[in-house]
């Protein structure tokens, strides 16, 4: 099983599946063919957005819980600091190198071989297990998973495991986010005659200086808590002109207990309170919201994962993901979701991303055991 997972992972890494597109679709087809060869019913839903979605289900034929295994096929682009071909999938001394090894084709490969190990196995005696693979998580899931859930819902699923890299430590949730673009509209003029224009740059800088940071509220586990970070600033077309506008980008991270709506209301209030006596007009555009999520640590899903992680000898204390991932959208749709996958999270998106074959083998064991317990097939 381990060799097969490694082979599948290397095959998937060789597709440079950066965002939705033909390479990502081909990678999805490769995964579908792998499952199909093992007699698993698999379908790929083409989508108008160009971001397809894969579904594969194994059914014991007996009542039991329905388990959803979820991951994404897209990867972030490779930077220029790699020591080897990021899409070469080199296997050296028990480590597979390449973009997407950790985040998160290792999780996908382990999910897939979990299905192939379980299908037709006598100890899989209750419930169902479904693999769902989407294709635009790294760019916000707006073209695939979010609209797919909006149309189909997730009512048929009792619990979900999102296979993002956590070193197989059970992560019970992730932060949410809100991206806002604040505009400061002035009036363009010759910089030699500044009084004939209205300069939005000093106004925007004053606003940044007065920006109220979020209250430090209790954040779960080892989360960084809520943060607010000015991340982009664009203004001006030439050094000798007063610009007509300045656009400030804000990245706000949310923890469970905070809602994007409340954060938006607070930002709008801060903008309204910002004393603009210089003729500059302010506006706000919400670019993206992503709700935070948190699984109950007393839930069966959390405790099963912790027990299995402990038995496998990996870090088993509950943790929390500071980044955002698809667990939020599964949770919002009503499915209790755990983030639990092979590979250290800090290697995701990094140069020289890699994963040890031993981590894949651990994940295979963990996922098969979890699926048997969660479906009710084993105690
Ligand atoms: Zn990911």
Higher pLDDT, 379 or 177: 177
The reply to whether 277 belongs to the active site is no
Options 23, 74, 164, 321, the catalytic residue: 74
- Ligand 1: distance of its center to the CA of 281 in Å? 39
pTM: 0.93
- Ligand 1: distance of its center to the CA of 17 in Å? 13
Q: What pLDDT score was predicted for residue 217? A: 81
Helices 2-13 and 22-37 pack at an angle, to 10 degrees, of 160
Domain 2-174+292-375: assigned CATH number: 3.40.630.10
Pick from 210, 208, 246: nearest CA to 229: 208
Please indicate whether the domains covering 2-174+292-375 and 176-290 agree at the CATH topology level: no
Residue 96 has pLDDT above 70, yes or no: yes
- Ligand 1: distance of its center to the CA of 200 in Å? 38
What is the per-residue pLDDT across 327-365, written as a single tens digit (0 to 9) for each?
A: 999 999 999 999 999 999 999 999 999 999 999 999 999
Q: What percent of the chain has pLDDT over 70?
A: 99
CA–CA distance, 311 with 330 (Å, rounded to integer): 27
What is the per-residue pLDDT across 236-282, written as a single tens digit (0 to 9) for each?
A: 999 999 999 999 999 999 999 999 999 999 999 999 888 666 789 99
- Ligand 1: distance of its center to the CA of 49 in Å? 20
Rounded average pLDDT over 167-184:
97
Tokens encoding 121 = 């196995």
Q: Which residue shows structure tokens 């890699």?
A: 354
- Ligand 1: distance of its center to the CA of 155 in Å? 24
Rounded average pLDDT over 45-52:
91
Write the DSSP string, 112-168: HHHHHHHTT-TT--SSEEEEEEES-GGGTSTTTHHHHHHHH-STT-SEEEE---STT
Rounded average pLDDT over 132-155:
96
Residue 218 has pLDDT above 80, yes or no: no
- Ligand 1: distance of its center to the CA of 197 in Å? 46
What is the per-residue pLDDT across 52-67, written as a single tens digit (0 to 9) for each?
A: 999 999 999 999 999 9
- Ligand 1: distance of its center to the CA of 304 in Å? 23
**Phi, psi angle pair for 153, to nearest 5°:** 70, 175
Rounded average pLDDT over 184-202:
96
Q: What pLDDT score was predicted for residue 359? A: 97
Pick from 312, 20, 23, 345: nearest CA to 162: 345
The reply to whether 137 belongs to the active site is yes
Q: Which CATH number fits domain 176-290: 3.30.70.360, 1.10.10.10, 3.10.180.10, 3.40.50.12780?
A: 3.30.70.360
Q: What pLDDT score was predicted for residue 1? A: 66
Of the ranges 101-110, 139-148, 220-229, which one carries the lowest mean pLDDT score?
A: 220-229
* Three-class SS state of 60: coil
Q: What pLDDT score was predicted for residue 263? A: 94
By DSSP bridging, strand 293-294 and strand 171-174 are antiparallel
Q: Is omega for the bond preceding 154 within 30 degrees of 0, making it cis?
A: no
- Ligand 1: distance of its center to the CA of 283 in Å? 33
Q: Give residue limits of the domains in the chain.
A: 2-174+292-375, 176-290
What is the per-residue pLDDT across 60-87, written as a single tens digit (0 to 9) for each?
A: 999 999 999 999 999 999 988 999 999 9
Residue 216 has pLDDT above 90, yes or no: no
- Ligand 1: distance of its center to the CA of 85 in Å? 20
Options 137, 164, 258, 321, the catalytic residue: 137
Pick from 180, 162, 144: nearest CA to 52: 144
Rounded average pLDDT over 295-315:
98
Q: What pLDDT score was predicted for residue 276? A: 66
Q: Which residue shows structure tokens 């506008």?
A: 245
């Amino acid at each position: 099983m381990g060799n097969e997972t490694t082979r599948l992972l290397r095959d998937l890494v060789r597709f440079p599946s950066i965002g939705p597109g033909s390479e990502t679709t081909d990678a999805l087809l490769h995964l579908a063919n792998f499952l199909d060869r093992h007699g698993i019913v698999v379908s790929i839903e083409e989508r108008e957005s160009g971001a397809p979605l894969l579904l594969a289900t194994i059914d014991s034929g007996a009542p039991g819980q329905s388990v959803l295994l979820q991951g994404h096929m897209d990867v972030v682009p490779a930077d220029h600091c790699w020591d080897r071909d990021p899409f070469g999938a080199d296997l050296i001394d028990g480590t597979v190198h390449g973009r997407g090894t950790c985040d998160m084709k290792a999780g996908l490969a382990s999910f897939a071989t979990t299905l192939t190990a379980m299908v037709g196995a006598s100890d899989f005696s209750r419930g169902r297990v479904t693999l769902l693979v989407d294709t635009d998580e790294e760019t916000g899931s707006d073209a695939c998973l979010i609209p797919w859930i909006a149309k189909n819902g997730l009512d048929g699923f009792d619990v979900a495991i999102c296979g993002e890299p956590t070193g197989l430590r059970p992560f019970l949730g992730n932060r949410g986010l809100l991206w806002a673009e604040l505009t400061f509209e002035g009036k363009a003029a010759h910089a030699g005659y500044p009084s004939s224009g209205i300069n939005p740059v000093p106004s925007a800088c004053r606003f940044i200086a007065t920006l109220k940071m979020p209250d430090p509220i209790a954040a779960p586990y080892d989360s960084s808590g809520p943060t607010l970070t000015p991340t982009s600033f664009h203004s001006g077309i030439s050094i000798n002109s007063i610009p007509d506008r300045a656009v400030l980008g804000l990245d706000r991270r949310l923890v469970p207990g905070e809602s994007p709506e409340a954060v938006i209301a607070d930002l709008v209030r801060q903008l309204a309170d910002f004393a603009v006596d210089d003729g500059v007009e302010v506006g706000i555009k919400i670019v993206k919201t992503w709700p935070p999520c948190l699984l109950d640590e007393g839930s069966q899903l959390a405790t099963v994962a912790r027990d299995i992680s402990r038995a496998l000898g990996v870090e088993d204390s509950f943790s929390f993901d500071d980044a955002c991932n698809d667990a939020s959208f599964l949770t919002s749709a009503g499915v209790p979701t755990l983030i639990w996958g092979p590979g250290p999270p800090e290697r995701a998106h990094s140069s020289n991303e890699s994963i040890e074959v031993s981590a894949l083998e651990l994940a295979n064991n963990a996922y098969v055991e979890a699926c048997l317990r969660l479906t009710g097939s084993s105690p």
